Amino acid sequence: MALPASAVRAFEPPPQPEREAPARTTCPRRHSRVEAELAASRPGSVAASVGAGPPRGVSDEFNSRPLLEKPRKASSSLAGAACAPLFALLSRRRRRRMHVLRRRWDLGSLCRALLTRGLAALGHSLKHVLCSIFSKIFGPLASVGNMDEKSNKLLLALVMLFLFAVIVLQYVCPGTECQLLRLQAFSSPVPDPYRSEDESSARFVPRYNFTRSDLLRKVDFDIKGDDLIVFLHIQKTGGTTFGRHLVRNIQLEQPCECRVGQKKCTCHRPGKRETWLFSRFSTGWSCGLHADWTELTSCVPSVVDGKRDSRLRPSRWRIFQNLDAASKDKLGSPNTNAGANSPSSTKARNTSKSGKNFHYITILRDPVSRYLSEWRHVQRGATWKASLHVCDGRPPTSEELPSCYTGDDWSGCPLKEFMDCPYNLANNRQVRMLSDLTLVGCYNLSVMPEKQRNKVLLESAKSNLKRMAFFGLTEFQRKTQYLFEKTFNMNFISPFTQYNTTRASSVEINEEIQKRIEGLNFLDMELYSYAKDLFLQRYQFMRQKDHQEARRKRQEQRRFLKGRLLQTHFLSQGQGQSQNQNQNQSQNANPNANQNLTQNLTQNLVQNLTQSSSQKENRKSAKQNAGKEQNDSTSSGTNDYIGSVEKWR
């Protein structure tokens, strides 16, 4: 039964005023959503009727018309209109949150679109700017064709020109040391690794005058022959680190064999079972623990002559036997203690009966730092009781060399007690280990007065140090490496490391204690000052010699390049003359053409021969002059250096 029209109107919603359509936004999705909401809010629209449903109190089948049925494939606007009433059913807080999320999403998409369009516009404008710049610079080249094609062709031409220049340079100057290939203008200057390692000035004022033979240390070390390096290891001078460098960090034809877990390495000569190094890490303590100059010069020749195998491990009685025999030979000789330190005696000590040459080396350290380091080492329990201290074939007696402590060791001793012991061997240790103790009666202090004894020991230590093949300083690791490489012509694999923080540097002492340590080691202080002066003068002398050698090589390279250029110029000129003569021969048909051609050819041949002979003579004279210049440069460099030393003084 159908209801009357008035009842149907009563159930219908009241009419609402039509809203004006909002202005169209830039975002298409937001515009479609707003249109869908407005369409759903209109009373007579299809979406409103679909969203509203049947009136209250009426069944679902009531007034079901085909127009109100939900289509199978609804558009996006209809779907948004259908979801609008559901959105209205949410709470105000949830709706506000969803609105904020929608706005953020819209802003993100808008920013991404603006960013992409801005980058595209920037690239387009940049392209136009570059094209205009290329057109202004390369206007004549850009007159034909498209700009992209012209730029590609220009780049290809530049690349081909660069490759051609590289090929020409490699042909003219094939060596790697060519000065033309060193682009110093585009490279940052390389810092000098040897400059001011101890944070002091590179140029110093020398205090001592040394001759050229004292400064120039060049040992013709023959590792395949009979030469032997003997390392005198003084306690707490960094000798352990330097000894490891000698067996593990040096470039050799046959490197030392070092096994894991063993301190000693096998350092054989190439093709022989003989050692070339006499040190702690190669032969062990063959002449006693930390043998000094007196022990080594007496023991090493006897050990090497008695046992030529690389395993130089004589027993304790064998060491005493060798030292006793050496002392008897020395006492039986006409040259006694007065001339034991003369050049003839040192030369005799540096050679053995088998003809082996011994090259002694050592490392020195600042006396105060070395003294504190030894004190810390003694605190940890070190005693060096195994040291023999053999002199004149016998060790010192307990009266000659009393002990500073009672017990097994001197561990935990304070610094004051360490300094108060008058028989402490740490006092002036470097002078005692580098001097010839036979000159002062070994360890017998009653042979001569103390002042005279100290003077003889100091002069003997200076003389032995100056005549050594090499010595280094712990405070100058890189300079020590440089001088060793230049002296023995042997290179290390990795550079030395300068350690500025040590156990001795961690000890804080006041000025009074430092002055007392310097007073206890006054001989070492004088020796170290002498050694540092000689060391730095040797370094500067060798560096100047290297600079002179590099300058001579550059001059030779310039002469060589100039000769190559002249040779190519003469060849090209001769080829051009021959081509001109051929053209003249083809153009001129007179009977005297052949005669003129032969005359011209003979003249050219004679000129070429004379030019080649003159070039050969110039090369010979250049070589002779280069040799003379080298000798003159070395002599002049030496004179300049010694003259500069005198000026500094």
Please indicate, yes or no, if residue 451 is contained in any of the structural domains.
yes
Separation of alpha carbons 465 and 46, rounded Å: 113
Q: Enumerate residues 6+ apart whose C-beta is below 8 A from 219.
A: 359, 469, 470, 487, 488, 489
> Mean pLDDT in the chain?
74
d(CA 108, CA 97): 17
129-165 core/surface letters (b: 16 or more CB in 10 A; e: else): eeeeebeeeeeeebeeeeeeebbeeeeeeeeeeeeee
Whether 633 is covered by a domain: the verdict is no
* pLDDT class of 124 with cuts at 50, 70, 90: confident
> Does the residue 424 lie in any domain?
yes
Q: Tell me: pLDDT of 489 over 90.
A: yes
**Residue 117 lies inside a defined structural domain of this protein:** no
Domain-embedded: residue 584: no
- 138 pLDDT band, cuts 50/70/90, is low
Which helix (H) or strand (E) covers residue 598, if one does? helix 593-648
Give the per-residue pLDDT at 111: 72
Residue 318 falls inside a structural domain? no
Higher per-residue confidence, 463 vs 327: 463
Please identify which residue in the block is written with the tokens 């031409």. Answer: 157
Give the whole-number percent of the chain exceeding pLDDT 70.
57
Q: Which residues does the annotation mark as catalytic?
A: 290
Residue 465 lies in a domain: yes
> Residue 624: pLDDT above 70?
no
259-314 pLDDT per residue, tens? 988 889 999 999 999 999 999 999 999 999 999 999 999 999 988 887 554 344 43
Assess if residue 255 is contained within a domain. Answer: yes
* Number of structural domains in the chain: 1
Per-residue pLDDT averaged across 101-128, rounded?
Answer: 73
Condensed to tens digits (0 to 9), the pLDDT of residues 403-432 reads 999 889 999 999 999 999 999 999 999 999
- What is the CB neighbour count within 10 angstroms for residue 116? 10
Provide the residue range defining the domain that includes 220. Answer: 210-307+354-548
Residue 144 is predicted with a pLDDT of: 43
CATH number, domain of 298, equals 3.40.50
CA–CA distance, 113 with 107 (Å, rounded to integer): 10
Integer CA distances (angstroms), 544 to 181, 199, 253, in order: 24, 21, 30
Give residue 6's identity as a one-letter amino acid code.
Answer: S
